[in-house]
């Protein structure tokens, strides 16, 4: 079955799509009120992390002693001469 729409119906449909499109003006509203999002000072250190794994990754990237200690630990347990299990 082929649908037939008049030019007026198509125009009204496009107008409805444009009116309901998500734009920054109507996105993120609850009961027609914008959700306030206080800004943070992004210059501060450690204000966003991925839990313990993020803290560990940051320590490995910034602390050469911790990186060397971890590499020694990984070498010990990845060594084929070390008996496993």
What does the pLDDT look like over 3-33, one tens digit per residue?
A: 888 889 889 988 888 888 766 665 555 555 5
What does the pLDDT look like over 36-80, one tens digit per residue?
A: 656 666 566 555 557 778 888 888 999 999 999 999 888 888 777
- Asked if residue 59 lies in contact with residue 66, where contact means CB atoms within 8 angstroms, the answer is yes
pTM to 2 decimals?
A: 0.37
Cα→Cα distances 75→14, 58, 85, Å: 64, 21, 17
């Amino acid at each position: 079955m082929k649908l037939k729409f008049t030019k007026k119906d198509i125009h009204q449909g496009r107008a409805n799509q444009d009116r309901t499109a998500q734009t920054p003006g109507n996105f993120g509203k609850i009961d027609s009120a914008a959700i306030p999002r206080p800004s943070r000072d992004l210059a501060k250190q450690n204000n966003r992390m991925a839990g313990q794994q993020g803290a560990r990754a940051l320590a490995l990237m910034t602390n050469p002693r911790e990186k060397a200690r971890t590499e020694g630990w990984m070498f010990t347990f990845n060594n084929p001469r070390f008996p496993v299990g």
